[in-house]
Chains A and B, each alone.
Chain A
Amino acid sequence: DTAVSQTPKYLVTQMGNDKSIKCEQNLGHDTMYWYKQDSKKFLKIMFSYNNKELIINETVPNRFSPKSPDKAHLNLHINSLELGDSAVYFCASSQSNTEAFFGQGTRLTVV
């Protein structure tokens, strides 16, 4: 069983479109994250939720809107996609400041 699963794995879309990435964890963790990894491999935190509540919102454009319907899911919706949004997006979860488990990543390409 996959602990943290995100879909889709690949996403190619045109500028200006709206897209969503879904994430689910079956570990019973309270905290979930979204990270963006650029071409230089830097892992930048975007959002963090704890028990469905937003606790961290880094300086991310408001075109990005996370939604957590329950503590096992954290989805990411992106409006009006731009070329600079191309990256790999990782979902992760953790519990009580221990190790984080990552999803397989979603490679987003905006053309």
Chain B
Amino acid sequence: GQQVMQIPQYQHVQEGEDFTTYCNSSTTLSNIQWYKQRPGGHPVFLIQLVKSGEVKKQKRLTFQFGEAKKNSSLHITATQTTDVGTYFCASVNFGNEKLTFGTGTRLTIIP
């Protein structure tokens, strides 16, 4: 079955530093979604990418979908304490709407 791996599993950064998490799939993905889960909270949708090579930005967050549609990345510029949480990539199988999540990257910020 489809497996989506994320690296790193954990990341500790000084406030103000940049952060990147990578999502890799063994198969070609039809789309990629990104979610953020705050500690003690539930996953919240951030964005969806569909096109090969697509790049989208949300303020300090930059999302990329690889040319081969097998990988994706989320980059946060100048992290803030509000960025703390676990970031998940996910992909929907258009045929059966199965939404599979990556393994997640837990980000902690050192003030």
Contacts and interface: CB of A to CB of B under 8 A. Distances in A.
Interface string B22-53: 00000000010101010001111100100000
Given A99-B45, A104-B42, A45 B97 contact: no
Contact of A97 (B31, B45, B100, B103): B31
Interface of A: 31, 33, 35, 41-45, 48, 50, 55-56, 90, 92, 94, 97-105
B contacts with A: majority SS: strand
A34 B41 CA distance: 16
A101 B45 contact: yes
Interface string B74-102: 00000000000010101010101111110
Contacts of B44: 102
A94 B43 contact: no
A40 B20 CA distance: 20
Contacts of A56: 96, 98
B69 interface: no
Given A90-B42, A101-B45, A102-B42, A41 B97 contact: no
Given A94-B97, A94-B99, A97-B92, A42 B104 contact: yes
B43 A48 contact: no
Contacts of A45: 98-101
Nearest to B103: A42
Which are the 3 A-B pairs with shortest beta-carbon distances? A99-B45, A43-B101, A102-B42
Nearest to B46: A99
A90 B99 CA distance: 13
A33 B33 CA distance: 16
Contacts of A103: 42
Given A41-B104, A42-B101, 5 more contacts: A31-B97, A43-B88, A55-B97, A90-B43, A99-B45
Given A98-B48, A102-B43, A33 B106 contact: no
Contacts of A55: 96-98
B31 to A, nearest CB: 7
Q: Looking at B37, B48, B86, which has the most chain A CB atoms within 10 Å of its CB?
A: B37
